[in-house]
Amino acid sequence: MKTRTLGRQGLNVSAIGLGCMGMSFGYGAADEQEAIATLQRAIDLGVSFLDTAEVYGPYTNETLLGRAIRGRRDQVVLATKFGFNILPHGQGTERMAGVNSRPEHVHEAVEGSLRRLGVDCIDLLYQHRVDPQVPIEDTVGAMAELVRAGKVRHLGLSEVSAATLRRAHAVHPIAAVQSEYSLWSRDAEREVLPVCRELGIGFVPYSPLGRGFLTGKLTSTDSLAADDFRRTLPRFQDEALRHNLVLVDALTRLATSRGCTPAQLALAWLLAQHEQIVPIPGARRVSHLEENAAAANIELDADARAAITAALPPSSVVGQRYNDAQLTMVNL
């Protein structure tokens, strides 16, 4: 597996990472044994950049990851996130009780993540969502204290505006920004990506396959579990889904002409946008992981990138990427 460097402080990671959320959260029931096998296979393939968060489960995804990497800590780069009040009872998103990035909460959250992961240091710590009640300088100041204490190596932010990113980076170097970015979610290109390039900050696209849509394997919500959160997203509603399938058909034709899958071409397109972009596609099965990892070896010249971009213009996508309530937590 090829590697890339996020930020200017030397955080070296696999060119394609692994988003672990779906192994415990958001997409219906998962097979824990298959998840651990997928994580182990990722490490074998050199997919060393593993992404989780305290709220995935909540908590269970970090515990799962900690079990999977036991004895292999030196082979992985661990990223996790804090930033929510999590209630002690309930299921899944029922336990999320708003954002919380107060400095004292940052310290508490990291202690919990270290314990669940079974490690003494987190390689990359993200603020999961910006807390409008807490100045970003205060939150990043608390995160920087954890760096000085040796409990965290590098800092990141998720779904952050360009202005907030500049303020945060002035307090402590930010190694990476994680936000949704793919061929059908390109908001980051307007302001955030240019600032990342200017300041030498890495960019980590989550949902780089459009929450599975760009794989070409999802043609109806009928196949989704009743509690799959994609059922709440505007782009997956029936009329929007039918329209957006035209875009996937175009991507599939381009992929077939190049001898790869739509997922691989979508990931290769992201990798070709900038040397500090590292997508983290989710995978709950070994076969999907292996398919995604192979995209790191696909080279796209300028003409190929232009053809892909032209086939899936942002203006052609129907539906918001989140519903209105979810969008309130995105720092635009």
- Structural domains of the chain, ranges and CATH numbers in brackets: 3-210+270-298 (3.20.20.100)
DSSP symbol at 277: B
> Residue 111: what pLDDT?
98
Residue 262 has pLDDT above 80, yes or no: yes
Residue 107 has pLDDT above 80, yes or no: yes
Condensed to tens digits (0 to 9), the pLDDT of residues 226-260 reads 888 888 888 988 889 899 999 999 999 999 999 99
pTM: 0.94
Residue 206 has pLDDT above 90, yes or no: yes
Catalytic site residue from 27, 56, 181, 322:
56
Q: Dihedrals φ, ψ of 81, to 5°?
A: -140, 150
Confidence of residue 332 (pLDDT cuts 50, 70, 90): low
Q: What is the mean pLDDT of residues 26-37?
A: 87
DSSP 12-38: EEESS-EE-GGGTSSSS---HHHHHHH
Q: Are 56 and 25 in contact (CB under 8 A)?
A: yes
Q: Are 207 and 180 in contact (CB under 8 A)?
A: yes
Confidence of residue 221 (pLDDT cuts 50, 70, 90): confident
Q: What is the mean pLDDT of residues 103-127?
A: 98
* Percent of the chain topping pLDDT 90: 80
Residue 183 has pLDDT above 90, yes or no: yes
Strand, coil or helix: what is 180?
A: strand
> Residue 330: what pLDDT?
82
- The candidate with the shortest Cα–Cα distance to 140, out of 110, 172, 184, 108, is 172
* Percent of the chain topping pLDDT 70: 99
Q: What is the mean pLDDT of residues 273-285?
A: 96
* C-alpha to C-alpha distance for 192 and 208, rounded to whole angstroms: 16
Confidence of residue 220 (pLDDT cuts 50, 70, 90): confident
Task: Specify whether 56 is catalytic.
Answer: yes
Q: What is the mean pLDDT of residues 306-322?
A: 89
Angle, helix 103-117 to helix 136-148, in steps of 10 degrees: 40
Instruction: Name residue 226's amino acid.
Output: A
Strand, coil or helix: what is 209?
A: coil
> Residue 52: what pLDDT?
98
Q: What is the mean pLDDT of residues 104-128?
A: 98
